[in-house]
């Protein structure tokens, strides 16, 4: 399950979404140039980690990373998580490098920086005759999906979660801790526990994507300080959030 937010307060369905699956199960082919997204377009790139089984390939991919990225990977716990994190960094580098800018970019040479809230950005090297493209990206990954969203001129946030993710706490107790009163009210109206869990995960991914889009981080934008207003539709006798027609409402509680 994934959600991403662009255009600041407008959700992804306000733009045209182009999806591209990357094949990392064999040696990386030459990077074919791709045009930058248009103003009303979002590019969604993804990799399926389970399809990448070669340890030698993973070792080759690690050579695209910076010394700091390699060090961070080394200290991560869990082989599956470490693999997804590696593929996420490779996906970002090889995706950004293939966009048609005014000069050819080597994925290995890309440098990144973080905002004061920790959101990663490309640290472009300014030249006398070249202006960096107004490109924005965001990444997220689980053990089964690595995703990268790319836009031009507007920030983007993306979050992916496992559809079968289970909560240690009771659903409504969890929701009351992290969600706004209006969102808790919507979840409370769902009687089926499994549907309720699924809808909570949907809301979580949307809220996570929004926070990443505005680039402020969870501590600066707690989930219970804004509301995802989604239309509720009835399918199969149960109520579901229509995440294709959603908006973010910032309120103070």
Q: How far apart are CA 6 and CA 118, in angstroms?
A: 18
pLDDT at 181: 92
**Can you state the angle between helices 193-214 and 171-178, rounded to 10 degrees?**
20
The pLDDT of residue 8 is above 50: no
Give residue for tokens 């050579």: 63
Q: Lowest mean pLDDT of 9-13, 67-71, 81-85, 230-234, name the range.
A: 9-13
Per-residue pLDDT band for 10 (boundaries 50, 70, 90) equals very low
Q: Give percent above pLDDT 70 in the chain.
A: 80
> For the chain, what is the mean pLDDT?
83
Q: Mind listing the pLDDT tens digit for each residue in 150-161? A: 999 989 999 998
Task: Say how many C-beta atoms besides its own lie within 10 A of residue 78's C-beta.
Answer: 10
**Mean per-residue pLDDT for 195-200?**
90
The pLDDT of residue 228 is above 60: yes
Q: Given its phi and psi angles, is residue 132 left (phi above 0), alpha (psi -120 to 50 degrees) or beta?
A: beta
The pLDDT of residue 64 is above 90: yes
Q: Give percent above pLDDT 90 in the chain.
A: 41
pLDDT at 229: 77
Per-residue pLDDT band for 92 (boundaries 50, 70, 90) equals very high
Domains in the chain: boundaries: 2-160, 171-252
pLDDT at 2: 55
**Class for the domain spanning 2-160:** alpha beta
Q: Are 195 and 187 in contact (CB under 8 A)?
A: no
The pLDDT of residue 86 is above 70: yes
pTM: 0.84
């Amino acid at each position: 399950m994934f959600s991403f937010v662009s255009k600041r307060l407008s959700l992804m369905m306000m733009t045209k979404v182009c999806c591209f699956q990357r094949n990392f199960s064999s040696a990386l082919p030459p990077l074919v140039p791709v045009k930058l997204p248009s103003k009303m377009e979002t590019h969604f790139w993804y990799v399926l980690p389970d399809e990448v089984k070669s340890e030698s390939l993973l070792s080759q991919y690690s050579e695209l990373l910076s010394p700091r990225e390699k060090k961070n990977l080394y200290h991560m716990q869990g082989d599956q998580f470490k693999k997804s994190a590696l593929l996420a960094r490779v996906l970002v580098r090889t995706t950004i490098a293939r966009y048609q800018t005014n000069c050819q970019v080597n994925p290995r040479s890309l440098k990144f920086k973080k905002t004061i809230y920790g959101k990663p950005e490309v640290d472009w090297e300014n030249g006398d005759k070249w202006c960096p493209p107004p490109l924005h990206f965001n990444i997220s990954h689980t053990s089964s999906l690595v995703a990268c969203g790319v836009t031009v001129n507007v920030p983007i946030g993306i979050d992916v979660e496992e559809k079968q993710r289970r909560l240690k706490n009771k659903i409504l107790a969890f929701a009351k801790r992290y969600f706004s009163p209006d969102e808790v009210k919507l979840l409370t109206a769902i009687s089926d526990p499994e549907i309720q869990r699924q809808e909570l995960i949907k809301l979580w991914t949307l809220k996570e994507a929004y926070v990443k889009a505005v680039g402020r981080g969870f501590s600066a934008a707690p989930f219970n300080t804004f509301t995802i207003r989604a239309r509720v539709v009835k399918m199969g006798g149960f109520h579901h959030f229509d995440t294709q027609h959603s908006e973010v409402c910032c309120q103070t509680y």
